[in-house]
């Protein structure tokens, strides 16, 4: 008897699916120009926002939130100009859930190749009672009407349930269901005050994914603040639970303690790809340049030990680490500096540095010394390192030129 055609078909189908198995794509929504800029000391003018938006486009973000159009004429102009300038990413702007905000937002965003209206209202009891002075029923109606109004202007509408993590979960499920019915294509569940923790946020997101009947009609987005230093960890937990979009900022700038840092969440997904099995469209080699552009625009540097982009992020000072990295970089490096566009693997020499690292640096900066010369230079280097925290290439050159050449 010939082969069972059903079995053969199943075999080919399974193999075809295996070969074509793609990692889930996570959309990177950058809000450096909106939530980031809202923090004191980080405001940007129109030209600066355009410069930054062009760099974000090179970086490969999926969405640029360019501002809050109704908040000021300057921000309206900035959102309009960013919408007119960038071509690849979706461009959005924040609007409260009322017709005036949404109409003004649309007037700025309509110039974009791919516009999105982003509207929001708070859904937690604390916010509804004290800030909005509205009942949950009233808030639900406002949210639905805002999304319907926005959808009449624009195909791509995102709704955010502000303070989602402190909202009643049954009410939150209802809101998500109804705004999706009203036409929202993305529903964002922010941890507005940086209050949640990974295991709790993972549960909130998985409840939404499992309980909201029409959840597959929209992308669930997460937006975490860093008040407890957990914004990146919370975002990763949410991705694991099924979120499809992460809202974040370059250098983690943003209200109070900041937002989820783009470079940290993207590199965590990249370095631990096997664990998450997701991908982003980010060109990681543009990360360092994006970070530097932002610090040069705002005049606010990141701390030296900032993950991924800080001055010390790839610097190995302890002798034992320097020796390991020189032998095999993966001993102490989980990603290469080049993978984030960092100029080079910087071995900062200091009092803990060993002879091996010192000799390697001598070679790198062009000095080939014999053993006795190395002894003299190394002794001088240790003397200097005791007085000075970090020893730079210029210091080493001075040691060689003064101590060795004069011998
Ligand atoms: O933190 C927050 O809740 C926000 C929303 C308005 C998206 O920034
Ligand atoms: Zn926020």
pLDDT in tens, 129-148: 999 999 999 999 999 999 99
- Report residue 17: phi and psi, to 5°: -65, -40
Instruction: Say if ligand 1 is within 6 A of residue 106 CB.
Output: no
Ligand 1 in contact with 120 (CB < 6 A)?
yes
Tell me the CA distances in angstroms from 374 to 35, 324, 397, one per residue in order: 53, 21, 13
- Residue 398 and residue 235: Cα distance in Å, rounded? 48
pTM, rounded to two decimals: 0.85
Which residues are documented as binding site? 35, 223, 225, 259
pLDDT band of 394, cuts 50, 70, 90: confident
CB-proximal residues (5 Å) to ion ligand 2: 35
Centroid of ligand 2 to alpha carbon of 35 (angstroms): 6
The answer to whether the CB of 35 is under 6 A from ligand 1 is yes
Annotated binding-site ranges for Mn(2+)? 35, 223, 225, 259
Q: Is the dihedral of CA 156, 160, 161, 165 positive or negative?
A: positive
Q: Which residue puts its alpha carbon closest to atom 7 of ligand 1?
A: 160
The interface predicted TM-score (ipTM) is: 0.99
How does pLDDT run across 250-274, given as a tens digit for each residue?
Answer: 999 999 999 999 999 999 999 999 9
């Amino acid at each position: 008897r010939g082969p069972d055609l059903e079995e053969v078909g199943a075999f080919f189908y399974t193999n075809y699916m295996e070969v074509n198995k793609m990692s889930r794509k996570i959309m990177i929504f950058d809000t450096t120009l909106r939530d980031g800029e809202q923090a004191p000391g980080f405001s940007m003018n129109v030209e600066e926002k355009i410069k930054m938006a062009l760099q974000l486009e090179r970086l490969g973000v999926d969405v640029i939130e360019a501002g809050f159009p109704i908040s000021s004429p300057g921000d309206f102009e900035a959102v309009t100009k960013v919408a007119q300038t960038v071509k690849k990413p979706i461009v959005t702007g924040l609007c409260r859930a009322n017709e005036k905000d949404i109409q003004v937002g649309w007037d700025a965003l309509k110039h974009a190749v791919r516009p999105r209206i982003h509207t929001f209202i708070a859904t937690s009891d604390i916010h509804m009672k004290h800030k909005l002075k509205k009942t949950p029923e009233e808030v639900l109606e406002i949210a639905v009407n805002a999304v319907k109004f926005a959808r009449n202007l624009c195909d791509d509408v995102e709704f955010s349930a502000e303070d989602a993590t402190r909202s009643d979960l049954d009410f939150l499920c209802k809101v998500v269901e109804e705004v999706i019915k009203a036409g929202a294509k993305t529903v964002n569940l922010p941890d507005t005050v940086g209050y949640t923790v990974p295991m709790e946020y993972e549960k909130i997101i998985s409840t939404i994914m499992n309980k909201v009947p029409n959840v597959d009609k929209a992308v669930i987005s997460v937006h975490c603040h860093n008040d407890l230093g957990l914004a990146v960890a919370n975002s990763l937990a949410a991705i694991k639970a099924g979120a499809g979009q992460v809202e974040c900022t370059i250098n983690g700038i943003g209200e109070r303690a900041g937002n989820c840092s783009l470079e940290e969440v993207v590199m965590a997904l990249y370095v631990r790809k096997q664990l998450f099995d997701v991908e982003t469209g980010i060109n990681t080699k543009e990360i360092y340049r994006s970070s530097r552009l932002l610090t040069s625009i705002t005049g606010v540097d990141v701390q030296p030990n900032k993950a991924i982009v800080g001055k010390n992020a790839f610097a190995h000072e302890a002798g034992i680490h320097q020796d390991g990295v020189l032998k095999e970089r993966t001993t102490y490096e989980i990603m290469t500096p080049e993978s984030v566009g960092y100029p080079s693997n910087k071995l900062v020499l200091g009092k803990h540095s060993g002879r091996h690292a010192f000799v390697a640096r001598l070679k790198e900066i062009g000095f080939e010394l014999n053993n006795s010369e190395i002894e003299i230079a190394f002794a001088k280097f240790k003397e200097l390192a005791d007085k000075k925290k970090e020893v730079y290439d210029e210091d080493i050159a001075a040691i060689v030129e003064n101590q060795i050449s004069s011998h």
